[in-house]
């Protein structure tokens, strides 16, 4: 492993960076006759090299830094007090000739919310400036360790299912990936070198994907705490901010916010039993649900297909020093066409899903060729499904309209009144779909008639809508 590192340092020209000093590091004080460690908050005054660890906690930790343990950990303590994965990381760091290690459970004060917010905001710097990052991919928990053989049962290494690990891997300059099938050297330089064991690049598709694709990948992963939904991707948001040059709003970017409001939740993936809606995030953000999400066609929408205008916006950060982190609330003021409808619930079985709901509204009922489909985000949290009438007044807010060869599609948000009655809350998305059935004498005539017919339908729909300013929380 030391040869891999030395070859990389010698051969690869990584970006020049300012000297970064993590707030705390674990110092490897002694290796024989027993391994001794201590927590240092002055270790990096001279820019000492350090190794960072990315791993699965797998539950409560046997030793963490808290307000009550911080002072004791600054004195020498035996490595055997640490869970096996961190002890293995100490071994690897020593093999690499590096005397300092960064581990989140030890280098962040876990019961100090201010310290956690500060340190999480620095994570991009921590992993970017580490000499190397250890990816303990084969270990499902901190107690397992990663330097011994693991039975390969699951098709994917446990670390690749963890939400936090995505940004830790992408942000790292170089890494050693201890997987169940193999150990790999990874480097963001993008070249494979002879003599490397499965050498490959950290700058893979995930690193250069559009933000929406990255979010789709991220939301397939698991989080122990749903409130970490925005925190665990905040480092990647900071990295992307340089490219987007846009205001970051609760997991979304101002420059693409309107079409991106059409994100959809997949109810097939729920990450915990604590409810589906994350109430610390505004309902219009994908971060407000505990499901995987998809953005579908939103990347391809362009004016004049987009009919909604963003008038104003505001988010309140949980911590001012973490601009890409969690938010306390957020509000959007938009101007667009909307109309009223009713959401009806008729359960077909013990498992409730979107097929149990129907949107009833006058426009589609007056012309039976229109179809209305809905995709609700978290109905079990948003609606009282045991109410007497099993129906709720909703507002349908149009975001876009598109034509294809044979049909007209109008997409938008399903909204209902928030508790304060002056604002609306998102329930999900809708698709209003009109299939054209005109047949012409030849292809040119048919195409002309179809376009004329669909345009008339669009105008009729727009005339039915009321243009207004709506605030969504």
Alpha helices in 317-472 (DSSP H): 362-366, 379-382, 443-464
Q: Determine the pLDDT at residue 443.
A: 53
Q: Determine the pLDDT at residue 191.
A: 39
Q: Determine the pLDDT at residue 133.
A: 96
Alpha helices in 197-299 (DSSP H): 205-208, 211-218, 234-244, 257-260
Q: Determine the pLDDT at residue 354.
A: 78
199 near 193, Cβ under 8 Å?
A: yes
Mark residue 268 as left, alpha or beta (left: phi above 0; alpha: psi -120 to 50; beta: remaining). Answer: alpha
**Residue 305: count of CB within 10 angstroms of its CB:** 16
Nearest to 345 by CA among 392, 414, 276, 381: 392
Cα-to-chain-centroid distance, residue 210: 13
Nearest to 249 by CA among 266, 261, 262, 265: 261
- Helix H, strand E, coil C: the string for 186-207 is EECCCCCCCCCCCCEECCCHHH
Work out the angle at residue 373's Cα, subtended by the Cα atoms of residues 454 and 211, and round it to the nearest 5 degrees: 90
Q: Determine the pLDDT at residue 194.
A: 35
**Residue 436: count of CB within 10 angstroms of its CB:** 19
**Domain limits of the chain?**
2-208, 246-472
As given in the structure block, the two tokens for residue 195 are 């003599």
CA–CA separation, 443 and 418 (whole Å): 50
- Helix H, strand E, coil C: the string for 321-333 is CCCCCCEEEEEEE
Q: Determine the pLDDT at residue 387.
A: 61
Tens digit of pLDDT at every position of the chain (473 positions): 777 787 888 776 655 455 788 999 999 998 888 899 999 998 666 678 999 999 999 889 999 999 999 999 999 999 999 999 999 999 999 999 999 999 999 999 999 988 988 898 888 889 999 999 999 999 999 999 999 877 666 778 999 999 999 999 999 989 999 998 889 888 876 533 333 343 444 544 354 468 999 999 999 998 888 888 999 999 999 989 988 889 999 999 999 999 999 999 986 554 444 567 887 799 999 999 988 999 986 656 666 689 999 999 999 998 888 889 999 999 999 999 999 999 998 887 776 677 788 888 776 666 667 788 899 998 878 887 666 678 899 999 999 988 766 678 889 999 999 887 789 999 999 998 887 665 555 555 666 776 777 777 777 777 778 889 999 99
Q: Determine the pLDDT at residue 6.
A: 79
> What is each CA distance from 351 to 143, 290, 373, 430, in whole angstroms?
36, 18, 19, 21
CA–CA separation, 94 and 5 (whole Å): 13
Q: Determine the pLDDT at residue 16.
A: 46
Q: Determine the pLDDT at residue 262.
A: 95
Q: Determine the pLDDT at residue 208.
A: 47
Q: Decide the pairing of beta strands 252-253 and 264-266.
A: unpaired
Q: Decide the pairing of beta strands 51-54 and 100-102.
A: parallel
pLDDT digits (tens, 9 = 90+) for 135-170: 999 999 999 999 987 766 677 899 999 999 999 999
Q: Determine the pLDDT at residue 201.
A: 46
Q: Determine the pLDDT at residue 254.
A: 95
């Amino acid at each position: 492993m030391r040869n891999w590192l030395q070859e990389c340092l010698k051969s690869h020209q990584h970006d020049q960076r300012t000297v970064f000093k993590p707030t705390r590091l674990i110092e490897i004080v002694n290796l024989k006759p027993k391994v001794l460690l201590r927590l240092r908050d002055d270790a990096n005054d001279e820019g000492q090299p350090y190794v960072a660890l990315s791993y699965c906690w797998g539950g409560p930790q046997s030793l963490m830094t808290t307000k009550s343990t911080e002072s004791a950990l600054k004195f020498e303590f035996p490595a055997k007090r640490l869970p096996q994965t961190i002890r293995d990381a100490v071994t690897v760091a020593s093999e690499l000739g590096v005397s300092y290690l960064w581990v989140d459970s030890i280098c962040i004060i876990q019961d100090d919310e201010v310290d956690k917010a500060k340190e999480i905001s620095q994570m991009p710097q921590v992993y970017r400036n580490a000499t190397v990052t250890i990816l303990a991919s084969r270990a499902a928990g901190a107690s397992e360790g990663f330097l011994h053989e693991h039975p390969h049962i699951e098709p994917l290494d446990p670390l690749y299912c963890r939400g936090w690990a995505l940004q830790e891997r992408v942000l790292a300059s170089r890494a050693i990936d201890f997987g169940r099938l193999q150990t790999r050297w990874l480097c963001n330089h993008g070249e494979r070198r002879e003599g490397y064991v499965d050498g490959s690049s950290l700058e893979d598709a995930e690193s250069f994907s559009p933000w929406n694709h990255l979010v789709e990948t991220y939301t397939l992963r698991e989080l122990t705490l749903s409130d970490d939904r925005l925190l665990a991707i905040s480092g990647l948001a900071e990295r992307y901010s340089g490219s987007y040059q846009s205001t970051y709003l609760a997991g979304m970017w101002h420059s693409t916010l309107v079409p991106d409001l059409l994100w959809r939740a997949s109810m097939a993936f729920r990450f915990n039993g604590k409810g589906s809606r994350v109430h610390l995030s505004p309902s219009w953000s994908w971060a407000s649900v505990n499901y995987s999400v998809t953005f579908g066609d939103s990347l391809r929408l362009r004016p004049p297909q987009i009919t909604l205008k963003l008038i104003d916006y505001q988010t309140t950060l949980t911590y001012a020093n973490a601009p890409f982190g969690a938010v306390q609330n957020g509000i959007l003021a938009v101007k667009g066409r909307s109309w009223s409808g009713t959401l009806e619930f008729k359960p077909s079985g013990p498992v409730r899903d979107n097929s149990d709901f129907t949107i009833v509204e006058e426009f589609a009922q007056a012309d039976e060729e229109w179809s209305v489909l809905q995709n609700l985000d978290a109905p079990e949290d948003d609606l009282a499904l045991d109410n007497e009438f099993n129906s709720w007044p909703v507002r349908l807010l149009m975001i876009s309209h598109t034509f294809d060869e044979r049909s007209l599609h109008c997409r938008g948000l399903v909204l209902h009144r928030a508790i304060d009655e002056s604002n609306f809350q998102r329930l999900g998305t809708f698709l209003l779909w009109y299939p054209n059935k005109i047949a012409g004498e030849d292809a040119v005539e048919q195409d002309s008639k179809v376009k004329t017919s669909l345009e008339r339908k669009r105008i009729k729909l727009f005339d039915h809508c009321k243009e207004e300013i709506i605030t969504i929380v």
